[in-house]
Chain A
């Protein structure tokens, strides 16, 4: 059960526990969505801050954390919109395995929504309805994004058949 404001020590412990448990997966999710590990860490910190601010109002902190994080990743990319192409390229991911590196290159090159749908579905294991809510579109649109995203990744995925 989620500790309440009346249990300040318990709440702090719960926030710490959530932070420890979700730090790694959250940074990985944000890295996949933004393409930049250092930005990802920054956004995850901000998302956790938001969760701790609104702890009392939130029934499902882990779910709320994911929602806040995905929104921040999307807003970050939007704000970069015009200017980002003139920035230095983000640090490359440390992915030693050549197969995985090829997967990353394909994934990173996908349009934002397509990449987000793939990661939320196949890494976060979210149902399509939840992805639609996160991305603010219809479930049918998510299915279409996944369909197109899988087609984009078919080259590397067919190696796994």
Chain B
């Protein structure tokens, strides 16, 4: 059903907008851009920002890790077997391995430091290093914080040309979410052979590509990862399939999976029960249980953070584009730490960036590292680790090489109060 529009208002809007936009001063057209005139946008892997081949099995990160392709351990489930056949190891959302404990001497020092900080009542807000991060704020990572006490991590060095752009505190204020918000719920089976992501975007339209289809009696779209628009899931080796529909004017729902085919997703969509931004799936395939939830992620935000959690969210960038700040052209890195006591937000993030990536030792523990590319051909590196019990850290970088990103991660330390 469409809403009736007032013809007089429509005519007035046509006249007024035409006058307004035609009054915008536009200079003469410059030289016609040619496809060969923009080599910087090429995705040639020999380009300046690609020191690491993400699918090279001999590289430092094995995308399949220890979970070699094999027969699913859950018996008697044809769906599981089909999923395994499609994509052998789609998910590894297990809990983080226990962190290596710091030596007693360091723990004592850190404990004293924490006590001093407590006595002084250190304020949470800390300015970024004004010289671009040049002064080391202390190299020892503080692993002694309580779950509810989220450290803010600042780098003691930045990749060449990268400078601080913005510091923000979580939870995000409401005006940071006025471009829409995204909730992501991830389901998986214990064997790691099946996965399903439910992505709900509110107050914004997704504008998915793909092909038209009918979902829940109305128009919907379906496609593969390379046909998805900016729903926050980058394109990864193997890709994913998705089905999307508008549940209402302000709510769009996407079901995405790296193991379930589009027809299964369509069937799940048909039986979904949607109430506002809450989606219930009564016909989930056997064995799938909820593994991760990321709520209130700012739609279009360049990094993955739960908008309502306590934490920090700092942005660094390399100014290349005439437009300052976070643009598609400017390489950037974002460092977030947030309270995630059950690891559910971290699990959702790990599914989003690439469920198959393997742990890599960084910062005295194991981190999860993924290198992916978005539908905009941006190469991104995401590093996720447990900085302290109940505190997750995420570094996400675009168009910055993985070596530089890992170097930045190693140089992070809690900001001094």
Tell which of B12, B29, B168 touches A82, judged by Cβ atoms closer than 8 Å: B168
Is A140 engaged at the interface, CB distance under 8 Å to the other chain? yes
CB distance from A144 to the nearest CB of B (A): 5
Binds A, one of B2-10, B48-56, B357-365: B2-10
A147, B6: Cα distance in complex, Å: 8
Of chain B, the residue at the smallest CB distance from A75 is: B230
Could you give 13 example pairs across A and B, Cβ below 8 Å? A23-B28, A28-B22, A45-B33, A49-B38, A75-B230, A75-B328, A82-B172, A93-B24, A100-B20, A121-B13, A123-B14, A137-B249, A157-B9
CB-based closest 10 A-B pairs? A78-B300, A136-B207, A81-B300, A23-B29, A143-B2, A160-B12, A157-B12, A83-B326, A53-B35, A82-B301
Q: Is the CB of A154 within 8 A of B9?
A: yes
A160, B30: Cα distance in complex, Å: 36
Scoring B1, B41, B327 by chain A CB atoms within 10 A of each residue's CB, the highest score goes to B327
Q: Which of A147-161 contact B (CB under 8 A)?
A: 147, 150, 153-154, 156-158, 160-161
Q: Is the CB of B24 within 8 A of A37?
A: yes
Binding site for A on B (CB under 8 A): 1-3, 5-6, 8-26, 28-30, 32-35, 37-38, 41, 165-166, 168, 172, 175-176, 178-179, 203-208, 218-219, 221, 229-230, 246, 249, 252, 298-303, 313, 315, 321-328, 376
CB distance from A22 to the nearest CB of B (A): 9
A118, B229: Cα distance in complex, Å: 22
Tell which of A27, A75, A96, A144 touches B376, judged by Cβ atoms closer than 8 Å: A75
Is A80 engaged at the interface, CB distance under 8 Å to the other chain? yes
Q: Which of A61-107 contact B (CB under 8 A)?
A: 71, 74-88, 93-97, 100, 103-104, 107
Q: Is the CB of A118 within 8 A of B24?
A: no
A147, B4: Cα distance in complex, Å: 8
A85, B167: Cα distance in complex, Å: 12
CB distance from B137 to the nearest CB of A (A): 22
Q: Is the CB of A100 within 8 A of B325?
A: no
Tell which of A16, A138, A140 touches B32, judged by Cβ atoms closer than 8 Å: A16
- Which residues in A have their C-beta under 8 angstroms from that of B18? 122-123
Scoring A83, A118, A145 by chain B CB atoms within 10 A of each residue's CB, the highest score goes to A83
A28, B24: Cα distance in complex, Å: 7
Q: Is the CB of A135 within 8 A of B207?
A: yes
CB distance from A71 to the nearest CB of B (A): 7
Q: Is the CB of B327 within 8 A of A160?
A: no
Q: Is the CB of A84 within 8 A of B35?
A: no
CB distance from A104 to the nearest CB of B (A): 6
A79, B10: Cα distance in complex, Å: 32
Q: Is the CB of B249 within 8 A of A141?
A: yes
- Which residues in A have their C-beta under 8 angstroms from that of B206? 136
CB distance from B167 to the nearest CB of A (A): 9
Is A111 engaged at the interface, CB distance under 8 Å to the other chain? yes
CB distance from B255 to the nearest CB of A (A): 16
Q: Is the CB of B327 within 8 A of A52?
A: no
Of chain A, the residue at the smallest CB distance from B232 is: A78
CB distance from A122 to the nearest CB of B (A): 4
- Which residues in B have their C-beta under 8 angstroms from that of A118? 13, 17
A39, B218: Cα distance in complex, Å: 36
A33, B175: Cα distance in complex, Å: 19
Q: Is the CB of A83 within 8 A of B29?
A: no
With contacts A49-B35, A143-B3 taken as known, whether A78 is within 8 angstroms of B14 at the C-beta atoms is no
